[in-house]
Every structure is written in structure tokens, then in C-alpha cells.
């Protein structure tokens, strides 16, 4: 779809977003015979991978698994060149999918959905966009992304900065030339940790402003091993089926941990950690059964990781400042390529601003830790208003004109992260209350899309006009999400899973921790005639 004038006015469904969720939803809807359009604010497909073009951007789920499985032909023909795919390769893959399945003509690019209002009489949604158009649709599916509403903190003085500044998730398509520049970067989460080593290679000088030190483990990315690729492709379908029900929908290529941390002696514990460090990726997470459920066990692995920093970083003061104090994996664990080693470069300085954060931005640079640091370029790797940001950016009004923003004022409320009571025929892909960000996202996106597709066919076949979560199902689900988080240490420090990174955001742990349990629950709901939903 190229222009406004060709947009259909009456549709079966509107999809918000053309990232991996929106693209597959659009494909599914059209396969099932529903007239659908996707609205996408970018000029191309790919969502996260369209926006996050910062240097070093790479997925840390293995490429043979972080990819669609709905088409055997697609997964056989596409060739990943590395164990963990880079952003340009993932974006090329997204574009390939869009072309291969003819999706592009049903996507309206450079268009943001501004509102979706449910009309109770016609039982249709009126969806409006920033291009001043309106469409009417029976169903709305939100695939706007869990990490796509960018967070640029309101740093005092930013408007005075005389250099250039960029947010990693709004990176110029033509790239940024750091040569000969004094660069500053704020943020040391997954994004900063990927970007810092690469920016350091070309910048004249890089100053890292660190508010919270982070744990990180080498990713140990490698070129794709052709023998491994051939082995997976010989039974890709079987590989996918086996992985689907694993924790996080991911084959971590490790034997399940046999022991709890303190069931083995100190020497064996050390050997196990070393093996995890050498394997890299998320191996340490799985070294023992209780790393993220037991505080003492967690402290043991945390201390091991701090010791590694001391081994790698030459300057003891810098090493000390880089050592995290919080619970390992409470903030999302990071994977890196030479992150800590980067602090041994003569052109890299760490500014520990754990006390006061970034105090202000000045015309010449950044004031932090009591000093002004002069810079030509400033990079914000400051994260996202996660999980709810891109949903609540849309003015969504359900039955009785009730606004979703009002309903979620104290935190998101949903049933299964798929639907919210009072908002009929409105579905979320990877919504708050679903496992989403705690999983290998593409396979779990596919599960949501398949569930929604089956549901729409069920409505069509049974002559129902609407479906929505009931309050009787939503309330206990909220409690279950909370209870699942309480079984882990994920909620034990400030992180974006609970909205702690956004001032004023309600503190609610949003993702559901147990993927296999969630999958079984979704299947059970359907087997019991969409239990917990009202069909009218
Ligand atoms: O964002 P973050 P991200 N002053 O929120 C700091 C996924 N992802 O973009 O911890 C100073 O994790 C903030 O400090 P603090 C992945 O799920 C995946 O890095 O709040 N500093 C923190 O250091 C990830 O978890 C991949 O004290 C400020 C940083 O900015 C998620 O995206 C790659 C500040 C933000 O870290 C988000 O990661 C990249 C302020 N006012 C991302 N405000 C892969 O798959 C914030 N910070 C590899």
C-alpha cells in the first residue's frame, strides 16, 4: 500500500507495527482470508531491528533460533552467517520475509496509529493515524513492540548542547562517523555494552557515563559452522518442536544443571563457572539450578563475575567501579564482545556517576561526578518505556468510552497478555502479562499470532461477533504473574521489567516468568472453549 488514497476504509483487521510480530500477524490474517492492513511508523519493516542501528547491535539469541519457523521453505533457504546475527543481517532477513510473502503492499509505512476507539453499536474499531485518516475494523492487533518506546531522560540543559546527540534506538540510517571526535555515552545496559567496544575503535576518545555497573559475559559469537547449520536444517522442524516447550522457548545447547550451587564443593563450583564463562552466552545462568532463585547462590555467581572484571581490567579503580552490586540477572543479563577489555584502551574513560547520575548537559558536554566532560558527540543508550509504552502511546478506548490509559493507571491489567477486559476484539502480541521479553521472542511471537489467528477463525465459524477477557479471569492472572515473579530474583532490584527506569511509571512486574506453563495455559484455555473470555 503506497498512498493514503489506496487505504481500504472497511477492514477485518488493523495490525499496529510491522516488526516481527506485525509482519507474521499480517501474513496469518491474509492466509486466513481476513482483509487486513498494518500501519508502521518506520519507512521499512523490522521493528526493533529497523530502529536500533547503533554500532555493535546484534541479537543475543542464536540466529538459527531467533527466526521464524512458520515456513519450512523460509527457514531452509535463509542462511545466517554468524551464531548471533548482527542488526544489518536481521534487518535483511525481515526485508526478505516481507518480499517473499508479499507483505509490503499491505503495510502502510511512515504512519503512526494515534487512536483506536470501539463503537459498541457497530462493534467495530475506528482507528486513526497521524496522517489524518481513519479506518474501521472488527479487530485490532497491537504488535507495536515491547522495547520500542524510547526513553530519553529529561536531562537538564540538553537543548544547549552544541554537539550532535543520538539515541541508540533512533540511529541515523547513514551511520555516525566518530573519527576524530570526543564521544560520550550514557547507559551501560545491553545496548551500551554492545555499542561501547565498537565506538571506542573509531572515536578519538570515548567517555562512558555509568550510573549502574552491569554484569556481562562474553557472547563468544562465531561465524556460522556449516556442519551445525546442516545438522539443524536436516530436521529443522523437529528442532523447533523440541525447543518450543523449553524454558524461554530456547535451546541453550547445554545439559540441564544437575546441581544446586552449594551441593558441590568450592573447587567444582569454580570449574562449573569457568566452563560457563568459556562457553559464553547465557551458560552461567544455567550453571546451577538456583542461580536466579536463591540469593546465596546468586551471590556466588555474582562474585565470580566481579572477580572476572578484576582479572580483565588493568586499572584497579576502574575495575572496582565496573563491578555490579545488584543481584545477577535481576537486570537483564548482558552479553558482550570485549566489553571489559575496552576499558584498557587509552582512549576510553569511565565516569562513575552512581551517586548523582548525569547532573546536566552543558553547551560543551556533560556534567557528572562533579566535573564537566567536554564532548563533540553524545550517545544515549538509555533504554525504553518497556512493554506498555508503545501500547499506551495510542489513545485506546473500549466499551463505554473507557480509556486503556485510565484502566492501566496503576499498572497494566490483562488476561494472558493477550486481551484486556472492556476492550473487545483488541489483541496484544507479547503484551504485559505474557512471557514475551523473558523468552526467545520470535517463536513466542509466533505462538501469540497463531493463538489469535485460531481465535478469529473460531469466532467466524461459531458466529460470534466479539471476544474479550473477563474480569474474573483477569484478576487472578494478575496475581499469578506476580506470584511467578516472586519465585525468582528478577523483581529484586530496579529494572525495566517493573517500569523502574521510567519516573512515575507504576511499579508492576510485567512479564510472566514461566513460558512452558504459559503455553500449556493458553492451550487449556482454548480446549475449555476460550475459558476466561466472554464470547458474544
Ligand atoms: O536499556 P536498559 P538497553 N542517567 O534500560 C542508564 C534489549 N536489548 O537499551 O541501570 C544515567 O537496559 C541505565 O542506568 P540504570 C534487552 O532486553 C537486547 O540497554 O537505570 N544513566 C542503564 O545503564 C535489554 O534489556 C539486545 O542506573 C541512565 C541504561 O541507561 C533491553 O533491550 C541488545 C539514565 C539503560 O539500560 C533494553 O536495553 C540491546 C539517566 N537518567 C537491547 N537513564 C540483544 O538482544 C537510564 N540510564 C543483544
Across residues 50-67, what is the average pLDDT? 97
Share of the chain above pLDDT 70, in %: 99
Residues 326, 397 within the same domain: no
**What's the 176 CA to ligand 1 centre distance in angstroms?**
20
The residues pairing with 139 across neighbouring beta strands, listed in sequence order, are 13
260: containing domain:
158-380
The verdict on residue 3 lying in a domain is no
- Please indicate whether residue 496, judged by its CB atom, sits closer than 6 Å to ligand 1: yes
Residues 36/140, Cβ–Cβ less than 8 Å: no
Over the chain, what is the mean pLDDT?
96
For the residues 358-362, what does the mean pLDDT come to? Answer: 97
406: DSSP letter? H
Model confidence at 146, in pLDDT bands (50, 70, 90)? Answer: very high
Q: Look at residue 1 and tell me whether its pLDDT is greater than 90.
A: no
- Kindly state whether residues 422 and 500 are assigned to the same domain: yes
C-alpha Rg value of the chain to the nearest Å: 23
Percent of the chain with pLDDT over 90: 94
Q: Is the CB of residue 59 below 6 angstroms from any atom belonging to ligand 1?
A: yes
State the first-to-last Cα distance of the chain, in angstroms, to the nearest integer: 33
Are residues 90 and 76 part of one domain?
yes
> What is the model's pLDDT at position 197?
98
Would residue 402 count as lying in a domain? yes
**Residues whose CB is less than 8 angstroms from the CB of residue 424 and which lie 6 or more positions away in sequence, other chains included:** 118, 123, 398, 399, 466, 467, 468, 536
Q: Which of 259-273, 274-288, 496-510 has the lowest mean pLDDT?
A: 274-288
Which one, of 460, 533, 466, lies nearest residue 138 by Cα?
Answer: 466
472-510 residue pLDDT tens: 999 999 999 999 999 988 888 999 999 999 999 999 999
How far does residue 212's CA lie from ligand 1's centre (Å)?
A: 10
Q: How many domains does the chain have?
A: 2
Q: Which of 380, 398, 432 is the last residue of a domain?
A: 380
pLDDT in tens, 401-447: 999 999 999 999 999 999 999 999 999 999 999 999 999 999 999 99
Span 201-242, pLDDT tens digits: 999 999 999 999 999 999 999 999 999 999 999 999 999 999
Q: Which of 223, 290, 282 is nearest to 250 (CA)?
A: 282
Q: Which of 25, 172, 45 is nearest to 110 (CA)?
A: 45
- CA–CA distance, 476 with 127 (Å, rounded to integer): 31
Q: What CATH number is attached to the domain comprising 62?
A: 3.50.50.60
Same domain, yes or no, for 345 and 455?
no
Pocket test for ligand 1, best of 211, 435, 441 (most atoms within 8 A of CB): 211
The C-alpha cell at 288 is 546451577
Q: Would the CB of 358 count as within 6 Å of ligand 1?
A: yes
Q: With CA atoms as reference, report the closest residue to 109 among 171, 37, 52.
A: 37
Which region holds residue 180: left if phi is over 0, alpha if psi is between -120 and 50, else beta? left
> Half-sphere exposure (CA, 13 Å, Cβ side) for 341?
9
Q: Are residues 95 and 189 in the same domain?
A: no
What residue's CA is closest to ligand 1, atom 9? 383
What pLDDT, in 10s, does the model give residues 84-99? Answer: 999 999 999 999 999 9
370 and 395: one domain? Answer: no
**2 in a structural domain:** no
Sequential DSSP letters for 29-91: HHHTT--EEEE-SSSSS-THHHH---TT-B-SS-TTTSS--S-HHHHHH---SBSS-BHHHHH
Given a cut of 70, whether residue 119 has pLDDT beyond it is yes
Per-residue pLDDT tens for 306-359?
A: 999 999 999 999 999 999 999 998 999 899 999 999 999 999 999 999 998 999
| Residue 471 and residue 453 in one domain | yes
pLDDT, position 255: 85
Out of 184, 330, 382, 439, give the residue to mutate to test ligand 1, the one with the largest number of ligand atoms within 8 Å of its CB: 382
Burial of 245 (0-12, 13-18, 19+ CB in 10 A): exposed
What's the pLDDT score for residue 359? 96
**Could you tell me which residues come within 8 angstroms of residue 249 by beta carbon, excluding any fewer than 6 positions away?**
243, 439, 440, 443, 444, 447, 515
Q: Ligand 1 mean position to 510 CA, how many Å?
A: 17
Residue whose CA is at the smallest distance from ligand 1 atom 24: 190
Which pLDDT does position 209 carry in this prediction? 98
Are 405 and 502 contained in the same domain? Answer: yes
Per-residue model confidence (pLDDT) at position 282: 85
Question: How far does residue 187's CA lie from ligand 1's centre (Å)?
Answer: 6
486 & 508 share domain: yes
Task: For residues 142 and 166, state if they share a domain.
Answer: no
Q: Considering the domain boundaries, does residue 56 fall inside one?
A: yes
The pTM of this model reads 0.96
Q: Is residue 1 part of a domain?
A: no
Of 372, 353, 347, 364, the closest CA to residue 207 belongs to: 347
Q: Among 209, 383, 390, name the best residue to mutate to test ligand 1's pocket (greatest count of ligand atoms within 8 A of Cβ).
A: 383
Please state the rounded mean pLDDT for residues 262-288. 94
Q: Is residue 4 part of a domain?
A: no
Of 350, 365, 380, which one is at a domain's C-terminal end? Answer: 380
- Specify whether 254 is located in the same domain as 146: no
Instruction: Determine the Cα–Cα distance for residues 277 and 279; give it in Å rounded to an integer.
Output: 5
At which of 356, 380, 404 does a domain end? Answer: 380
Within a domain: residue 489? yes
Q: Is the CB of 147 under 6 A from ligand 1?
A: yes
Q: What 3 state SS string does 109-129 have?
A: CCCCEEEEEEECCCCEEEEEE
Q: Are residues 193 and 255 in the same domain?
A: yes
Q: Is residue 361 part of a domain?
A: yes
Which is more confident, 492 or 163? 163
Amino acid at each position: 500500500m503506497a498512498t493514503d488514497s489506496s487505504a481500504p476504509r472497511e477492514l477485518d483487521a488493523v495490525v499496529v507495527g510491522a516488526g516481527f510480530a506485525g509482519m507474521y500477524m499480517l501474513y496469518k490474517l491474509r492466509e486466513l482470508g481476513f482483509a487486513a492492513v498494518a500501519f508502521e511508523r518506520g519507512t521499512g519493516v523490522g521493528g526493533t531491528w529497523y530502529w536500533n542501528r547503533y554500532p555493535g547491535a546484534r541479537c543475543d539469541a542464536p540466529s538459527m533460533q531467533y527466526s521464524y519457523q512458520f515456513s519450512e521453505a523460509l527457514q531452509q533457504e535463509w542462511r545466517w552467517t554468524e551464531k548471533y546475527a548482527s542488526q544489518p543481517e536481521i534487518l535483511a532477513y525481515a526485508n526478505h520475509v516481507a518480499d517473499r510473502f508479499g507483505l509490503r503492499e499491505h503495510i502502510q509505512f511512515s504512519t503512526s496509529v494515534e487512536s483506536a476507539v470501539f463503537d459498541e453499536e457497530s462493534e467495530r474499531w475506528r482507528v486513526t493515524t497521524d496522517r489524518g485518516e481513519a479506518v474501521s475494523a472488527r479487530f485490532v492487533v497491537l504488535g507495536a513492540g515491547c522495547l520500542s518506546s524510547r526513553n530519553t531522560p529529561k536531562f537538564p540543559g540538553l537543548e544547549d548542547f552544541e554537539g550532535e546527540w543520538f539515541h541508540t534506538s533512533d540511529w541515523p540510517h547513514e551511520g555516525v562517523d566518530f573519527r576524530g571526535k570526543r564521544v560520550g555515552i550514557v547507559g551501560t545496559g545491553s545496548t551500551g555494552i554492545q555499542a561501547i567496544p565498537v565506538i571506542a575503535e573509531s572515536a578519538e576518545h570515548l567517555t562512558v557515563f555509568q550510573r549502574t555497573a552491569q554484569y556481562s559475559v562474553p557472547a563468544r559469537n562465531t561465524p556460522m559452522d556449516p556442519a551445525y547449520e546442516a545438522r539443524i536444517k536436516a530436521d529443522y522442524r523437529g528442532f523447533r518442536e523440541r525447543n518450543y516447550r523449553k524454558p524461554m522457548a530456547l535451546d541453550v545447547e547445554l545439559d540441564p544443571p544437575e546441581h544446586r550451587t552449594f551441593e558441590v564443593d568450592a573447587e567444582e563450583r569454580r570449574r562449573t563457572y569457568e566452563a560457563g564463562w568459556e562457553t559464553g552466552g547465557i551458560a552461567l545462568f544455567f550453571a546451577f539450578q538456583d542461580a536466579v532463585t536463591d540469593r546465596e547462590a546468586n551471590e556466588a555467581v555474582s562474585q565470580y563475575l566481579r572477580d572476572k572484571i578484576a582479572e580483565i581490567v588493568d586499572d584497579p579503580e576502574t575495575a572496582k567501579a565496573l563491578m555490579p552490586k545488584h543481584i545477577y540477572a535481576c537486570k537483564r543479563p548482558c552479553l558482550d564482545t570485549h566489553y571489559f577489555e575496552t576499558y584498557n584502551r587509552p582512549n576510553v574513560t569511565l565516569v562513575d556517576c552512581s551517586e548523582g547520575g548525569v547532573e546536566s548537559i552543558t553547551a560543551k558536554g556533560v556534567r557528572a561526578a562533579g566535573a564537566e566532560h567536554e564532548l563533540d558527540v553524545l550517545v544515549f543508550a538509555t533504554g525504553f518505556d518497556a512493554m506498555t509504552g508503545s501500547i499506551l502511546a495510542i489513545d485506546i478506548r473500549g466499551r463505554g468510552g473507557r480509556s486503556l490509559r485510565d484502566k492501566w493507571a496503576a499498572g497494566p491489567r490483562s488476561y494472558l497478555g493477550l486481551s484486556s477486559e472492556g476492550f473487545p476484539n483488541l489483541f496484544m502480541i507479547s503484551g504485559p502479562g505474557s512471557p514475551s521479553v523473558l523468552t526467545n521472542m520470535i517463536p513466542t511471537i509466533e505462538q501469540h499470532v497463531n493463538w489469535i489467528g485460531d481465535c478469529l477463525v473460531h469466532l467466524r465459524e461459531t458466529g460470534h461477533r466479539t471476544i474479550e477477557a473477563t474480569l474474573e479471569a483477569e484478576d487472578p492472572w494478575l496475581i499469578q504473574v506476580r506470584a511467578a515473579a516472586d519465585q525468582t530474583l528478577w523483581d529484586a532490584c530496579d529494572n525495566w521489567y517493573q517500569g523502574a527506569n521510567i519516573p512515575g511509571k507504576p511499579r508492576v512486574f510485567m512479564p510472566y516468568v514461566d513460558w512452558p506453563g504459559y503455553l500449556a495455559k493458553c492451550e487449556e484455555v482454548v480446549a475449555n472453549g476460550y475459558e476466561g473470555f466472554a464470547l458474544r
